């Protein structure tokens, strides 16, 4: 079979998936959601200094820990699946940080585990990673997956799947099976997974200390977490799948019927919810002029909201090779000068719940 015919078959599958996606994603106006700020802060975050994307983290190493595949039944009767990585370096006598890593729309847990490099970071920085699967478009649930992040995306949004409840169940299971630190439970997400991560920050705030996302937006109309959640958001200016300023996107994204909200609306909504200082601080990375970093500090409970705009970066997960030629074709070439996984982990690891 030629490469062209293989791509044609994959494109046919994607179009079939998206015909389902398009009926579930009603365009919404790109307006910031309403928020209700918590009471005035009792503790504050120091004002930021020069941005260091990999501060206080070790570079990834070869993962030598235990990988496994699991499943659980949710209250709605669905069998949900996930992948789990427990590093060999983990100290069983000390509660470990947990990272819930959410793949993008039309992705899978296996793809995101292979593509993100989080296992290698978990090994060198001693944290547990769980990669849940979204809801599949195929009859047997094994096709490309989506998350119900609110206004997006696909079968998960169409069927109003309780993905917030699913992630809560996963955290509960790991709490029972492993020694997990509840003050250091974090979420990372890409694209539709980023939209889902924002929803978790809004609705699962009692279990999550911070989120780190690339190429997403806020998918719910109300976000007023009773406990503040720190956020780092990376977004490329050359992202045509989820445009940084919002809109329908191009390529496959344009077939879904989604009108994405602007990325900055999301970070501003969380900054308001966290009662951060109203004037954000501009930061720079002296080693990379492509990065424009805006930080909202002096927030409730020592939380921080950070927005990193990357000049020329596409929708592809930054700093890691594309998982296929087809992914490169539709998502663009990955931006090479920022490791999204390590930058996100650096932020998360320094923002445990106070």
- Token representation of residue 86: 């427990």
Does position 185 have pLDDT exceeding 60, yes or no?
yes
35, HSE (Cβ side, Cα atoms, 13 Å):
27
234, HSE (Cβ side, Cα atoms, 13 Å):
30
Averaged over 301-314, what is the pLDDT?
98
Instruction: Convert the pLDDT of each residue in 2-56 to its tens digit.
Output: 443 444 444 344 433 433 333 333 344 444 444 444 433 434 444 455 789 999 9
Does position 71 have pLDDT exceeding 90, yes or no?
yes
Does position 180 have pLDDT exceeding 60, yes or no?
yes
Identify whether the C-beta of residue 347 lies closer than 8 Å to the C-beta of residue 232: yes
Burial of 15 (0-12, 13-18, 19+ CB in 10 A): exposed
For residues 66 and 143, which has the higher predicted lDDT (pLDDT)?
A: 66
Does position 139 have pLDDT exceeding 60, yes or no?
no
Query: 0.85 exceeded by the pTM?
Result: yes
Does position 289 have pLDDT exceeding 80, yes or no?
yes
Element (H, E) at 307: strand 305-310
d(CA 230, CA 349): 11
Domain residue ranges of the chain, discontinuous segments joined by +: 3-349
Q: What is the mean pLDDT of the chain?
A: 87
Residue 305: predicted pLDDT: 98
Q: Find, among 21, 48, 52, 12, the residue nearest to 339 by Cα.
A: 52
Distances in Å between the alpha carbon of 133 and those of 7, 17, 111, 243, 294? 24, 16, 10, 25, 32
Instruction: Convert the pLDDT of each residue in 240-276 to its tens digit.
Output: 999 999 999 886 666 678 899 999 999 999 999 999 9
Does position 318 have pLDDT exceeding 80, yes or no?
yes
Q: Find, among 242, 227, 239, the residue nearest to 301 by Cα.
A: 227
CA dihedral (218, 224, 228, 229) in degrees, to 10, reads -20
Distances in Å between the alpha carbon of 225 and those of 35, 60, 205? 9, 33, 6
Fold of 3-349: Rossmann fold (3.40.50)
Element (H, E) at 306: strand 305-310
**Beta partners for 96?**
180
Residue 77: predicted pLDDT: 92
Instruction: Convert the pLDDT of each residue in 84-95 to its tens digit.
Output: 999 999 988 899
Residue 252: predicted pLDDT: 64
Does position 1 have pLDDT exceeding 80, yes or no?
no
d(CA 218, CA 202): 9
């Amino acid at each position: 079979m030629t490469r062209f015919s293989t791509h044609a078959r994959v494109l046919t599958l994607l179009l079939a998936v998206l015909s389902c996606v398009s009926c579930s994603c009603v365009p919404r106006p790109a307006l910031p959601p309403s928020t209700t700020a918590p009471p005035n802060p009792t503790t504050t975050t120091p004002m930021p200094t020069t941005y260091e994307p990999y501060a206080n983290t070790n570079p990834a190493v070869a993962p030598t820990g235990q990988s496994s595949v699991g499943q659980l039944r949710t209250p709605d009767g669905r069998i949900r699946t996930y992948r789990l990585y427990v590093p060999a370096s983990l100290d069983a006598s000390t509660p470990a940080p947990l990272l819930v890593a959410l793949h993008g729309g039309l992705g899978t847990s296996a793809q995101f585990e292979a593509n993100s490099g989080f296992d290698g970071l978990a090994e060198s920085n001693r944290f547990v990673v769980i990669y849940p699967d979204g809801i599949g478009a195929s009859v047997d649930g094994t096709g490309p997956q989506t998350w119900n992040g609110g206004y997006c995306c696909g079968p998960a949004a169409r069927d109003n799947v309780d993905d917030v409840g699913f992630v809560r169940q996963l955290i509960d299971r790991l709490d029972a099976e492993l020694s997990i630190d509840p003050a250091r439970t974090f979420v990372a997400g890409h694209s539709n997974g980023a939209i889902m991560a924002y929803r978790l920050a809004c609705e699962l705030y009692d279990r999550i200390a911070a989120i780190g996302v690339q190429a997403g937006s806020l998918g719910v109309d109300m976000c007023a977490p009773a406990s503040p959640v720190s956020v780092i958001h990376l977004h490329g200016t050359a992202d045509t799948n989820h445009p940084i300023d919002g809109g329908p996107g191009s390529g496959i994204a344009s077939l879904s019927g989604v009108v994405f909200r602007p990325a900055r609306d999301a970070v501003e909504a969380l900054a308001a919810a966290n009662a951060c200082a109203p004037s954000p601080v501009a930061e720079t990375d002296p080693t990379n002029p492509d990065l424009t970093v805006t930080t909202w500090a002096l927030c409730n409970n020592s939380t921080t909201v950070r927005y990193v705009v990357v000049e020329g970066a596409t929708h592809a997960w930054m700093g890691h090779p594309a998982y296929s030629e087809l992914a490169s074709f539709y998502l663009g070439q990955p931006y090479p000068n920022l490791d999204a996984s390590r930058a996100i982990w650096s932020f998360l690891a320094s923002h445990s719940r106070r």
